[in-house]
Amino acid sequence: MPTVKFVKEKKELVVPVGANLRTEALNAGINLYPGLNGFGSSINAVVNCMGLGSCGTCRVNITKGMENTSAMTTMEWKTFHVPFPDPLPSMAYIGNEEKMRLACCVQVNGDMTIETQPELNLFGENFFS
């Protein structure tokens, strides 16, 4: 059974193959909803798309084990590439294309290391390129 390591929370979960990352993280008490600069995380935990892949608030960086995830869904691609109605997921995706995914759309097929609540870097080297 795959092991999912959450870096910031210092937790490891053993999950069945094919398990949904969002479901397993929430069952373990891990907060996936960052808000903006720490503001609104409690609101986002209640007001979200409930796992449909349309709000972008459950975005995570998969630092190791991206090959052990399911393929990116159409809804997930749209959330990251179309900045309407909410531009924040698209802005967070810039510079993190190789490692950012939505937890609600990821099926765990092997071991991986996850960074939850990645910060939005408006001043990064890749943002204005």
Any domain includes 75: yes
pLDDT of residue 42: 75
Any domain includes 14: yes
Any domain includes 82: yes
97 close to 68: Cβ distance less than 8 angstroms:
no
Structural domains of the chain, count: 1
Q: What is the pLDDT of residues 75-110, one digit of tens each?
A: 999 999 999 888 889 888 988 999 999 999 999 999
Any domain includes 129: no
26 close to 119: Cβ distance less than 8 angstroms:
no
CATH number at residue 55: 3.10.20.30
pLDDT of residue 103: 97
Any domain includes 67: yes
Alpha carbon distance 3, 111 (integer Å): 5
Residue 122 structure tokens: 């408006």
pLDDT of residue 44: 81
Counting residues of the chain whose pLDDT is more than 90, the rounded percentage is 64
pLDDT of residue 1: 94
pLDDT of residue 127: 56
Return the higher-pLDDT residue of 119 and 5.
5
Mean pLDDT (the chain) is 90
Any domain includes 26: yes
Any domain includes 51: yes
Within 8 A by CB and 6+ apart from 88, the residues are: 36, 56, 120
Alpha carbon distance 56, 60 (integer Å): 10
Provide the domain limits for residue 88: 3-116
pLDDT of residue 119: 78
